[in-house]
Structure 1
Amino acid sequence: MTHDGRSLYLQALIALQQTSEDELLSWFQIAGIHGRPFIPWDGIEWNPSAPEVGYCPHSSVLFTSWHRIYLALLEQVLSSHAQHLAKTYNSTTYQIAADNFRIPYWDYALTPSMPDIVDYPQVLINTSSGPMNVSNPLLHYRFQQFPLNETLFPAGESGEGCLTTYNTTVRFPVNGVSNCDSINANLQGSNLKANTYSVFQTRDYNTMATGTTSNSAFEYAHNQVHHTIGGFNTMDPGHMGVFAYAAFDPIFFLVHANADRLFALWQAMNPTSFLTPDIDSTGTFTNVVGGNLTVDSPLTPFTMVNGSAWTSTGARDLVGLGYSYPEIMDWLPISKDDLAKNVTAAVEWMYGPST
């Protein structure tokens, strides 16, 4: 990300986090799609036969494709803020940065320490008025309506610790204060690189996409990151350690952008492998436990411009979504076989046992 792009990204995050929590496209409501407050988003109602949870499908073949569209929503909203911000500058470089805006990722497998920037209380950016130190929007999200609504965020809920007592998101809290040194020490001892590499050895889509206890699925390493940042084996976890609250922490989207990147690398290596029908073992806000999951299952609550639901079929192709990753040069005239070979070599170089 260029310096201009970084300034726009951080300001766009600030603008989104300052948007009223009553607004559909606020940080609060977008984060709330994933888990709590377990309320309808954009008119997609709760299925009374489904569990009382968020829209996110965990332990599901929809896990990877659902998060891809979730990230696309966030990127679209942040991009809109970036476009507005760019127009306040007297330089075309910021308009170029806005036109090329994409959300960043943190490669937790290659670099198993949180990016330094997520722990800075303040960051220096170039605003349209000049250089300025601002509160860091990657440090935490500050809840606008605090205390939290007791009906939507019940205190003492099993497994959710003391999260309702915090007016900001926290990470591995010790006496209510985020503990990043312990997080990084635990990340470095968590075998994230080896566990990520293991997933690339499978050729079956469903195996790659589903699994919380097996290192043959990207969800497994992703869970390690969640629990490590949240604080595992603790009575008082941070937000990332509880899936119902995780998406409120800004680092959530850095983690999931990388999970999407890993998914995209795997797709490039296995272009003919795709989702096969499976049974939903956990359910979501709209999906019943035991229901059938297919390539055409709606990725609720996300809808396309024409009003139809996004599906795994629609989420399959990065080109159609307008983005890619550095290792996947699919915008060049290259065959799928050669692309698969190139990406395989990149994966071996980055995550292989000899590196």
Structure 2
Amino acid sequence: MDVKAFAEMPTVRSRAYGRRWLPALVASICMIVTLFALGKLMVSHNVIRNERLLDIVDPLRMTTTTTNSDIFNAGTTVSGTDNGKSHKMEKRQSANRLLSTGINWNGIQQRRNWNDFAADADLLNLFLCGMEALQGMDQNNRESYFALAGIHGAPYRQWNNAGGGNTQTGYCPHASILFPSWHRPYLATIEQILGNIMRNLANQYPAGAVRTRYQQAANRFRLPYWDWASNAQVPAIIGSQATVRVQKPQGSVTIANPMISYVFHPFSPTFFPFTPFNRWTRTLRQPDNNGTPRPNVVNQQLGANQVSLRNRVFNLLNYQRQFNIFSNKAWNGGNSGNQDSIESIHDLIHGLVGGQGHMAIVDTSAMDPIFWLHHCNVYDEYFF
């Protein structure tokens, strides 16, 4: 064999192998395309109903008809930079299951301290109007304030066809290593629903510069956090200011401050099986025996614990290296000993703010608007 023939042999062999495998490759591609097309056809004719199969053959549910309320209507979406992704995800919503995506329509927005958040006049105005609308929704609606707060605890109803019953302690996994991370999708769901309400409201302002301002404010929204470790005194607008003046699309009006309390509509003693919760028709903070809230007592209690709160947060962030201890109070069979945890600090804030208006067993406190801001602080801003 001469040198030239020897040098050309690998090329000839390579071409032979290519001719052998090419038909198999083409056949495989044709089979994949055919199966995908068949799956899409079966989904569109409701032949496939299993959620896991739907995830495989139709991951964005583009063939599923949505029957949601107007706040999830693509027509209410303000301008953003998501290239249509939020619209696709919204189409995946169905009458039986709400998909929690968080806010995804204008990139990643910074979560802000309440004081910075409140200094943004347009955003604060839209937030207060949105909270009022959310709290005013029918309590049987799964996207209502009542239903969202009830995910955390009482009144122990099943939510979003999730199963589990939610019968004794709510869905929140107290005394569990999952305790901090569970709150993240919970807060994302709240932000998603409230954010869509705010976008819908922004589109109702008079066309022109005013509407554009509020649309831009809606795009800046993330739930703010109340930084009690930095300053434990509750800001007036979330602690003691009974009414607020807001600019609605129809004009300037005074409304009951939605950050002070949630009023049940209607109220039923069956919501909360223990006294005194089964006779209070609204959320209360440090109430006296007559059910009168005492915001001054809240600030007194928080002030007395300010140094301790700050030190405990500092120590957890700087010295605790074991997540099973860091995350919850059940790290040692319920006996915390000299160790601290996020959950223990969380519980203290609930008790200091709620007084006898909060009971950990019943877990009514998630109904109070201030605790949504508290949870943003504990489970997102500080620790993740």
Superposed displacement of residue 99, structure 1: 1.2
Q: Quick one: which of 1, 12, 15 aligns to 2:133?
A: 15
The residue type equivalent to 2:284 in the other structure is V
Q: Does 1:228 align with 2:352?
A: yes
Q: Does 1:58 align with 2:174?
A: yes
The residue type equivalent to 2:177 in the other structure is V
**Distance of 1:242 and 1:81 partners within structure 2:** 32
Match of 1:94 in 2: 214
Match of 2:258 in 1: 137
Query: Could you tell me whether the CA contact under 8 Å between 2:134 and 2:194 is conserved in 1?
Result: yes
**Distance of 1:145 and 1:216 partners within structure 2:** 40
Superposed displacement of residue 167, structure 1: 1.0
**Distance of 1:38 and 1:163 partners within structure 2:** 14
Match of 1:284 in 2: none
Match of 1:193 in 2: 310
Match of 1:45 in 2: 163
The residue type equivalent to 2:214 in the other structure is Y
> Tell me, what secondary structure is at the counterpart of 1:134?
strand
Q: Quick one: which of 200, 216, 219 aligns to 2:340?
A: 216
Query: Could you tell me whether the CA contact under 8 Å between 1:171 and 1:240 is conserved in 2?
Result: no
> Tell me, what secondary structure is at the counterpart of 1:33?
helix
Match of 2:124 in 1: 6
Match of 1:29 in 2: 147
Match of 2:298 in 1: 183
**Judging changes above 3 Å, is the alpha-carbon distance between structure 1 residues 186 and 241 closer, same or farther for their aligned structure 2 residues?**
farther
**Judging changes above 3 Å, is the alpha-carbon distance between structure 1 residues 183 and 261 closer, same or farther for their aligned structure 2 residues?**
same
The residue type equivalent to 2:276 in the other structure is C
Q: Quick one: which of 231, 246, 251 aligns to 1:125?
A: 246
Match of 1:344 in 2: none
**Judging changes above 3 Å, is the alpha-carbon distance between structure 1 residues 249 and 205 closer, same or farther for their aligned structure 2 residues?**
same
- TM-score, normalised with respect to structure 2: 0.62
Q: Quick one: which of 234, 242, 245 aligns to 1:114?
A: 234
Q: Does 1:247 align with 2:366?
A: yes
Query: Could you tell me whether the CA contact under 8 Å between 1:64 and 1:263 is conserved in 2?
Result: no
Identical residues among aligned pairs (%) = 34
Match of 2:102 in 1: none
Deviations 1:272-322 (CA, angstroms, capped at 9, x unpaired): xxxxxxxxxxxxxxxxxxxxxxxxxxxxxxxxxxxxxxxxxxxxxxxxxxx
**Distance of 1:138 and 1:241 partners within structure 2:** 21
- TM-score, normalised with respect to structure 1: 0.67
**Distance of 1:51 and 1:165 partners within structure 2:** 20
Q: Does 1:172 align with 2:286?
A: yes
Match of 1:256 in 2: 375
Match of 1:313 in 2: none
The residue type equivalent to 1:38 in the other structure is Y
Match of 2:13 in 1: none
**Distance of 2:261 and 2:327 partners within structure 1:** 29
Q: Looking at CA atoms only, which structure, 1 or 2, has the larger radius of gyration?
A: 2
**Distance of 2:366 and 2:266 partners within structure 1:** 17
If asked which structure has higher relative contact order (CA below 8 Å, sep 6+), I would say 1
> Tell me, what secondary structure is at the counterpart of 2:253?
strand
Alignment: residue pair count: 251
**Distance of 2:344 and 2:235 partners within structure 1:** 21
**Distance of 1:223 and 1:32 partners within structure 2:** 18
Superposed displacement of residue 126, structure 1: 2.1
Structure 2: where are the runs of 5+ without partners?
1-116, 331-335
Superposed displacement of residue 38, structure 1: 1.5
**Distance of 1:3 and 1:127 partners within structure 2:** 13
The residue type equivalent to 2:272 in the other structure is F
Superposed displacement of residue 261, structure 1: 3.2
> Tell me, what secondary structure is at the counterpart of 1:138?
coil
Superposed displacement of residue 189, structure 1: 1.3
Superposed displacement of residue 242, structure 1: 5.8
Report the structure, 1 or 2, having the larger helix content: 2
Deviations 1:210-243 (CA, angstroms, capped at 9, x unpaired): 1275663122211111001111xxxxx1147665
**Distance of 2:359 and 2:231 partners within structure 1:** 19
Query: Could you tell me whether the CA contact under 8 Å between 2:169 and 2:361 is conserved in 1?
Result: no
Structure 1: where are the runs of 5+ without partners?
232-236, 268-355
Query: Could you tell me whether the CA contact under 8 Å between 1:209 and 1:218 is conserved in 2?
Result: yes
